[in-house]
Amino acid sequence: MTSTNELRKLWRQYHLANQARYQEWGERGYCHPPPASVPFPDELDGLTCGAKTRAGTPCKRRDLYLSGRCRLHGGLSTGPKGKALTP
């Protein structure tokens, strides 16, 4: 059995390979037909976020970003918090 970190690395490699194919397609002017996607690895079927929730249980979301985390646990920053500093 592979570790979670190895699965996340495989997830990232899968997405980067697909991204490279579609970027190359865009550079060629999006001519028809679109490129075939890289086959989805069987090991990644059912991969979940796995981040620790407030309740202490692992997150079960399956809609993951490139980082291998869901939008709640690995998304973009919400910006600075608190009062703005004045010079």
- Cβ distance 36 to 30 under 8 Å? no
The rounded mean pLDDT for the chain is: 83
Token reading at 18 = 């697909």
pLDDT for the residue numbered 27: 92
Partners of 58 in the β-ladder = 52
Q: Return the number of other C-beta atoms located less than 10 Å from residue 49's C-beta.
A: 22
Cα separation, 67 vs 52, in Å, equals 15
List pLDDT tens digits, range 48-86.
Answer: 888 888 898 988 988 888 778 888 887 666 677 766 655
In this prediction, residues 35-41 reach a mean pLDDT of 87
Cis upstream peptide for 33 (omega within 30°): yes
